[in-house]
Amino acid sequence: MQICKTKDYDDMSRKAANIIAAQVTMKPDCVLGLATGSSPIGTYKELIARYNNGDLDFSKATSVNLDEYKGLPGDNDQSYRYFMNHNFFDHVNLPKERTFVPDGTEPDADKACDAYNQIIADVGGIDLQLLGLGHNGHIGFNEPADCFPPVTHCVDLTASTIDANKRFFDSEDDVPKQAYTMGIGNIMLARKIVVVVSGADKADILKKVVEGPITPEVPASILQLHPDVTIVADEAAAAKL
């Protein structure tokens, strides 16, 4: 694991964008695995700025997102499809028909997950996966569990994740209780992984992820086994490393 310590959130966002920009420059038809949450928003802003100044061209790229709430359509402003449109896709020339997010409107979980695994296979796997880190060590919506789920599946969100995400909804009751998420296997097969981590509230979990035992109780700890992971963390998040 490479640890890249940065001054603050903006510095983290620039450094993460540097890595993604290099990927898109070297392989314009790359497959980017993308993430939601507050951590990557600055990275998307940086990438948009570089697109606007002519440094980046996404016209040949494809994206596959990590996860989506079950039950939320793409026009719901809390869906991850909406988040991605709003924070990234609407501002760059990545063709919309090549931006994939699990289908939250498909009520049949097996159907939704099988279809998404097929999409990941059809695009040829992921060249670079961008990840945030949940407070309990989750990546995508792979919550602490007693095994590492291999492929896209339907998860029951934990109380701590519902609690962390309720700030975005009118009330806790409105937070969906289930989501479709890529599995740990899908993520580990990405050829390169970049994790953005920011803030003092992530310092304890980041230490466990990087230095603790590899266990499904801390899903992101499995990244220790990946050959090409860069953790871009600001000073506050990296304080305990």
**Partner residues linked to 194 by β-bridges:** 130, 230
Q: Does 177 bind ligand GLP (CB under 6 A)?
A: no
With binding defined as CB under 6 A, does residue 42 bind ligand GLP?
no
> How many binding residues for ligand GLP (CB under 6 A)?
14
Instruction: Give 132 or 183: the residue with its C-beta nearer to ligand GLP.
Output: 132
**How far is residue 65 CA from its own chain's centroid?**
7
Query: In this chain, which of 23, 43, 99, 161 binds ligand GLP, going by CB under 6 A?
Result: 161
Place of tokens 């948009």: 48
Reply yes or no on whether 156 is catalytic. no
Find the part of the chain contacting ligand GLP (CB under 6 A) among 22-30, 98-106, 132-140, 224-232: 132-140
- Is position 33 an interface residue for ligand GLP (rule: CB under 6 A)? no
Interface with ligand GLP, residue 141, by CB under 6 A: yes
Binding-residue pattern over the window 86 to 105 for ligand GLP, x denoting contact by CB under 6 A: --------------------
Between residues 100 and 141, which has the closer beta carbon with respect to ligand GLP? 141
Burial zone of 158 (CB within 10 Å; 0-12 exposed, 13-18 middle, 19+ buried): middle
Residue 136 engages ligand GLP in binding (rule: CB under 6 A): no
- Measured in residues, the chain has a length of 241
DSSP 219: G
Our CA dihedral for 65, 66, 70, 73, rounded to 10 degrees, sits at -10
Looking at 68, 103, 117, 138, which residue is catalytic?
138
> Is 186 among the residues known to form the active site?
no
Rounded distance between C-alpha atoms, residue 118 and residue 124, angstroms? 10
* CA dihedral (216, 223, 199, 141) positive or negative: negative
> Is residue 144 a contact residue for ligand GLP (CB under 6 A)?
no
Catalytic residue among 46, 65, 67, 153, which? 67
Q: Which residue among 136, 142, 165, 186 is the active-site one?
A: 136
Mode of pairing for the β-strands spanning 31-34 and 128-131: parallel
H or E segment and range at residue 50: helix 41-52
Residues marked active site are found at: 67, 136, 138, 143
User: By the criterion CB under 6 A, which residues form the site for ligand GLP?
Assistant: 35-39, 66-67, 132-134, 140-141, 161, 165
